[in-house]
Structures are given as C-alpha cells and as structure tokens.
Structure 1
Amino acid sequence: MTDTVATPGRKVYPSVLEATELPRIIRITGNLYAAAFSLMKMLPARYIVDRAEAVGVLTPGTPVIETSSGTFGLGLAMVCQLRGYPLTIVGDPVIDADLRRRLEMLGARVEIVEDHGGPGGIQAARLARVAELHRERPDSFVPGQYDNPDNPAAYAAVADLVGTTLGAVSCLVGTVGSGGSTGGLAASLRLANPSLHLVGVDTPGSIIFGATEGTRLLRGLGSSIRPGNVDYAAYDEVHWVGASEAFHATHDLYRTHGLFMGPTSGASFQVAAWWARRNPDDTVLMVLPDEGYRYQSTVYNDAWLRANDAVPAPNPDGPRLVGHPAEVADRWTRLTWARRTFEAVTGTAR
C-alpha cells in the first residue's frame, strides 16, 4: 500500500509520511554533520506497517497494538490513521498531555499502565499489557519496535540519503532506545565503510548497556529493558549523558546553530561535538531524532527545569572514562565497548 498521491497526467507527490520520515543532512561545523529529523520514528513505523502488509499480516481493519510513550506511537498513529487501522497505544504516566491529545486526535486509543515494581520496570509492565491485549485479540498486529528486525532495516533509506548527500562517514553518533536507528544506520553505512566508528549514547539509570537501573529524567533514550534490536557487537564506544548536561546541549544546539530539537538530540550533539573536536580529520554524523516543540513546557521552560533540579549545566571536562558499566555515575561517562557482546563487556548474561 502506498500513501503517495498521484495526480493523473501530472507529477507524483509524496504523502505526509514520505515528506516527514527522512532527515535533513546539515553541516554543523567543519567536520560535524547532522541527520536532523522532524519525527524519526515515522520511518520505522511506516516501514514495519509496509512489511506487514506485504506478507499479509495486516489487512484492512486489522487492530494494531503497540507500547510507546513517545514518538514511535505518534508515527504509528499517523500511519494507522491514514491507512484505516484501529490503534491502541499502551503507555505510562510520563506521557505528556500534549502528545496524548495528538494521539487521540489521530484516532488512537491510549491506555496507561502503572509501574508496580516488577522486573523490567514500567517498560516490562507496558509490554505485558500489550501481550495481554494481543491474547484478547489474536487477530491483532503488534509492531514490536523493540524486537522487530524491520525497525533497524528501515534505516537503510537514511544510509542511502547520507551516501548521496554527504558521502563517506567516519563516525556515527546517536542515542539508543530500541536500538533501531543507530544499529540499522550503522549496518547500512558499513556496507561501504566497514571501519565506521559507532558511538551509542545512553543515560544513567538505563540498563541497556549494563549500568545500574535508576530514575531517568532524560526521556527518549535508555530503557529499563534490553531490547532485542540492540546489536551490542556493533558499538565501538558508549557514552552515558546526564539530564542537566543534555538539556544544556539542547539549548546550545538551538542558540548556536538554530536547530530547535528535543533533549535526545541534545545528548547526541554533546557527544558528537566532543568526538568531532578530538578527531578533526574525520567526518562525523550525529542523529537528531525529533524537534523541540513537544518540550517547550519542560526542557525549554526554566520553571520546570528548576522544579526538577535539572538546571542546564555544561560539562567542560568531557566524559570520564570507565572500564565497566557498573562505574557509570550521574554525569557524562564513556566506555570503550570495542564491538564486544554484552556478556564480554559486563561479565553477565544479557
């Protein structure tokens, strides 16, 4: 199924999905470039639905059930609304009111679950509710962003764009949540350049790369589960960026470069700018996942920042190098991952 609008005898026009899903490639400084998305998760949402339709899993009227408290849910809601699939999004209390309203205006039913302190925290609770709803409606389709290999596969289109506009890339920097964007984009870019250096950006409190689980104010990256789509052996190094540092970098990205982006983009920018300065002969590409309009009442609001003890603060000293994820602190930390498995780095099973 296509959303492209074809006018008889005239040019073929892209739909809102096609017009939104790919990034702009922007030069930031001498050797630092950005893949700046308006809504990055639109791309895997549309691609997963396309693939499900192609194999007959999704047919007209099939219910779609997914867990999200962020932009994957929004991208999926846009796709499902345009193609006529009833959608249920299972989220948690951190979902902001504006995003929930947008999901509901697109026809999605939003169900909120609570964290009852079980293993895997709120994300495990959300996944359990999705599984329960799927058992109730076995005819439904679950996109499964955390484990569906079509998530990382979607980013081959971005690699094609990067290749035609920027050419060879030495280093790719991006935040890690489901593992789709960094892992998928790196896999495609490495077809042309196997030595591409991949830097994953996480946050303290996230367990993805083996750090201790804790509260995370910085949302949109990190997780209380280890998604199946995280290809650990793909990463050369991993950085953990704290909330106040990421918020400072988010503001700095706008003040200095005019890019009004969300806090995951700020975290990516903080690490990528540092890496680019240390490697001036390399071409560095950072992934900026979404724009800042969702965060005007939070990350861009001084009163909210003060109330959450998250006043933006730079870290001029750079990251602290550690030898094990257990040493990750509240501030910027990095670890040489060296394309090893999770078990090889942490000494524990994934």
Structure 2
Amino acid sequence: MPRESRGFPDYELPRLVRLADNLYGAAFFLMKLLPARHMLDRAAAEGRLKPGGTICETTSGTFGLALAMLAAVRGYRLILVSDPAIDEHLHKRLLELGVTLEIVEKPYEIGGFQTARLDRLRAAMETHPGSFCPSQYGNADNPRAYAEVAEQIAERIGHVDCLIGTVGSGGSMSGIARFLRHLNPDLHVIGVDTPNSVVFGQPDGKRLLRGLGNSLVPPNVDHRQFDEIHWVGAPEAFLATRHLHRGHALYQGGTSGAAHLVADWWARNHPDRKVVTLFPDEGHRYAATIYNDDWLAALPGWTGVLPEAPRAVAHPSDVRPDWSSFRWGRRTLDQVLTAEKMLASDEALPDGGLAEAA
C-alpha cells in the first residue's frame, strides 16, 4: 500500500448502538478521522499535497488529532496552530506524534483567539510555501465525507425520522442531514450548540464545553438544514456524559453527552419516531475531568441534577446557561437574526407597531 494511502478505515465509521426502542447512537472512535482522511486524499489526488509535504491547520480539538495520526503514518509534516484552551493530554499526544504545535497566547480584542489563530496560520503557510491547509471550516470535502456515515445509517437502521448532533465545523450534521434528506425529505434535524457560541446567533464568550460551538460562523454550517437548535451548558453536558456511560457503557466525551441529553429527551417525547444521534469521540482524554467526581463538583453551576427538559426561547438572545431550545425552521442565520431584530423593533413601538401599520 502506498504510504500516501494509509489510514485507519476500521476507525472511521461509528458503531451503531440501540439505546432505546426508538433511539440509536452512532458512537465514533474519532469522528474527525473520516473528513480528515477524505480531505487529504482529495488534496493528494489533485496535486495540492505532495508526498512528504507540509500540512498547516488551526484547531484546538480532535480534528488536529486526526490530522496528526494520518500525517504520522503517511509521512507528512504537520503544523497546528492552537490556543491555551487545548486539552493537556491532547497537547502531549500531538507532540508525541511529531506535530509542530504553535500556541497563540493572547486573543484579539475583536475576533478573540479564533481570529488570532487564523493570522498565525497564514503566517505559517507563508513560511512554508506549497503547504496544504485542509481548512475544515470551509472545505466542502468535510461535509461530503459524511456520505459514508449516512449510507451506513440508512443500510443498518432504515428510515430515520430525526437526526441529532452537535455542531462545530458544521461538517458532520450538515453533511449527514443533506444526504439522509434524499431518502426522507421530512427528516427532523436538531443541532446542539452551547451558550456563548456564535454559530446560531449567540454572542461570543468563554466556553468550558469544547468540541462544539465556535467563535466564528464556519461556512460549512448549512443553517437551512436545521429544524431545531438546542444550547446545552457544560455542567449539564458533563453529567449527561456520565449518565451515558453508566446507563449504556458508552465511554464518550462531553459533546456526546450534550447530544445524548437532547436525543434522549426528544425520543421519549416522540416514541413513534426513530431517532439517531451522533457521539463524536471516546472519553479517554477526559479521565481527569469529566470522569473525575472531584473536578465536576468544583465546576461553577454544578448541581449534580439534570434538567428534565429544555426551556423553549423566542430567539437566540434568550438562551439560558443550562439548556434552551429554539425552533430554527430551516432558515439561514441572517433570516433568524433579521426576524429577531424586527421583533425587537416592534416591541419597542407602542402596541408593537400595530397601530401605525394599520
């Protein structure tokens, strides 16, 4: 096998686990392996990534680990730009895999760490002419890669009524939803975000829950695919992660807990609908945090009790710290935010502006 074609095919697709009569979990070893491999294969086939070449990317999560694993076995040099929020164990593993890791220490006043990291990434690429940037946020090969997952779900589970998963780069949920809707145009799609993420209209802020959300709106997020959005706080996601392990023996990360919290609630309230939810990565990196009772007890806002249901909000600006839901209605981000501004404007006028409109 040519070195450039080496990968981890047995790890790319998820295990499909039945969690309830109408609920299935798609549990990945490392979800980002599939799009990372797909992007590198396409770039190599088109001559944009040469044998022994250099890859540059910005990431603080598992996409970096996926690239590092592939670079190690394919003989590429990998430069990753991250920030101080990167997980300590991930940091060590990336270095062990031979990654050149550049940490941006200070955020910009406008755009925060994300914009600062993008500037450092551009500088790295200028320093290494001919390098390849996968650009997971905007690379259309990211959502395209998930056609394989959609096909697996359709073949193994059959008709699916509802798809639920977390949204970060936008690749997995936008890609799988788009493909499954070829089979079922009425598929109900729920995206799971976290407060202080701008992806679905929240103002940017500090986020303890990593692996979902963003400080920039990635081009690969197809907002028109989503019927509902739920925002789940870190304590709630972490506790749901522990429940997922205790109840189903699935040792997953915090994003999986957030997805399971929403999916379990929705499936129980729609017993006649078949639901699939995505669990992006395993929990081994979180042994000292999510799976540590003392660490959890010290979290701000930790109660040890899950909310029974989300609070439905009228628009994204009303999101609560714990768990909120919003009817997105397959609209673009601009459509949702414009409707919010119009609603706020109407409420500022006497009688909601109705008298003048008449």
Q: TM-score range by the shorter chain?
A: over 0.9
The answer as to whether partners of 1:23 and 1:37 remain within 8 angstroms in 2 is: yes
Residue pairs, 1:258-269, within 5 angstroms: 258-269=249-260
The amino acid that maps onto 1:339 is R
- Partner in structure 2 of residue 87 of structure 1: 78
The answer as to whether partners of 2:232 and 2:323 remain within 8 angstroms in 1 is: yes
- Partner in structure 1 of residue 28 of structure 2: 37
Q: Classify the secondary structure of the residue corresponding to 1:28.
A: strand
How far apart are residue 312 of structure 1 and its match? 5.6
How far apart are residue 81 of structure 1 and its match? 1.1
1:277 pairs, out of 268, 272, 283, with 268
- Partner in structure 1 of residue 49 of structure 2: 58
- Partner in structure 1 of residue 326 of structure 2: 335
Q: Distance in 2 between matches of 1:83 and 1:100?
A: 21
1:185 pairs, out of 176, 182, 185, with 176
Q: Is residue 214 of structure 2 the alignment partner of residue 217 of structure 1? A: no
The percentage of counterpart residues that share the same residue type is 51
How far apart are residue 124 of structure 1 and its match? 1.7
- Cα deviations by residue, 1:285-329 (Å, 9 ceiling, x for unpaired): 000000111001111112222333253633333111111111112
- Partner in structure 1 of residue 165 of structure 2: 174
- Cα deviations by residue, 1:32-76 (Å, 9 ceiling, x for unpaired): 001100100011110000110111101112210011111100001
The answer as to whether partners of 1:246 and 1:267 remain within 8 angstroms in 2 is: yes
Q: Classify the secondary structure of the residue corresponding to 1:129.
A: helix
Q: Distance in 1 between matches of 2:111 and 2:140?
A: 21
Q: Distance in 2 between matches of 1:122 and 1:274?
A: 34
- Partner in structure 2 of residue 345 of structure 1: 336
Q: Distance in 2 between matches of 1:312 and 1:300?
A: 16
How far apart are residue 3 of structure 1 and its match? 6.5
Q: Distance in 2 between matches of 1:314 and 1:153?
A: 38
The answer as to whether partners of 2:7 and 2:73 remain within 8 angstroms in 1 is: no
The amino acid that maps onto 1:333 is S
The amino acid that maps onto 2:130 is D
Choose 252-261 or 107-116, whichever is displaced more. 107-116
- Partner in structure 2 of residue 20 of structure 1: 11
How far apart are residue 215 of structure 1 and its match? 1.4
Choose 92-101 or 224-233, whichever is displaced more. 92-101
Change (3 A) 1:4 1:26: farther
- Partner in structure 2 of residue 157 of structure 1: 148
Q: Is residue 229 of structure 2 the alignment partner of residue 255 of structure 1? A: no
The answer as to whether partners of 2:108 and 2:116 remain within 8 angstroms in 1 is: no
- Cα deviations by residue, 1:105-151 (Å, 9 ceiling, x for unpaired): 11111111023343221122111111111122231100001111111
The structure with the largest helix share of the pair is 2
The answer as to whether partners of 2:195 and 2:232 remain within 8 angstroms in 1 is: yes
- Partner in structure 1 of residue 62 of structure 2: 71
The amino acid that maps onto 1:168 is H
TM-score, structure 2 normalization = 0.91
Gaps of 5+ in 2: 341-358
- Partner in structure 2 of residue 9 of structure 1: none
How far apart are residue 180 of structure 1 and its match? 0.5
The answer as to whether partners of 1:3 and 1:17 remain within 8 angstroms in 2 is: no
Query: Which structure's CA Rg is the greater one?
Result: 2
Q: Distance in 2 between matches of 1:192 and 1:68?
A: 33
Gaps of 5+ in 1: 6-14
Q: Distance in 2 between matches of 1:348 and 1:150?
A: 32
Q: Distance in 2 between matches of 1:101 and 1:165?
A: 37
Q: Is residue 298 of structure 2 the alignment partner of residue 307 of structure 1? A: yes
The amino acid that maps onto 1:330 is P
The amino acid that maps onto 1:79 is L
Q: Classify the secondary structure of the residue corresponding to 2:8.
A: helix
Q: Classify the secondary structure of the residue corresponding to 2:20.
A: coil
- Partner in structure 1 of residue 221 of structure 2: 230
Q: Distance in 2 between matches of 1:317 and 1:299?
A: 21
Q: Classify the secondary structure of the residue corresponding to 1:347.
A: helix
Matched pairs, number = 340
1:111 pairs, out of 102, 109, 116, with 102
Choose 53-62 or 23-32, whichever is displaced more. 53-62
How far apart are residue 246 of structure 1 and its match? 0.6
The answer as to whether partners of 2:38 and 2:142 remain within 8 angstroms in 1 is: yes
How far apart are residue 92 of structure 1 and its match? 0.9
Choose 46-55 or 309-318, whichever is displaced more. 309-318
Q: Runs of at least 4 residues of structure 1 off by over 6 A?
A: 1-5
The answer as to whether partners of 1:90 and 1:110 remain within 8 angstroms in 2 is: yes
1:147 pairs, out of 127, 138, 143, with 138
Change (3 A) 1:135 1:218: same
The answer as to whether partners of 1:342 and 1:348 remain within 8 angstroms in 2 is: no
Q: Is residue 132 of structure 2 the alignment partner of residue 132 of structure 1? A: no
Q: Classify the secondary structure of the residue corresponding to 1:287.
A: strand
Q: Classify the secondary structure of the residue corresponding to 1:172.
A: strand
The amino acid that maps onto 1:259 is L
1:102 pairs, out of 93, 100, 116, with 93
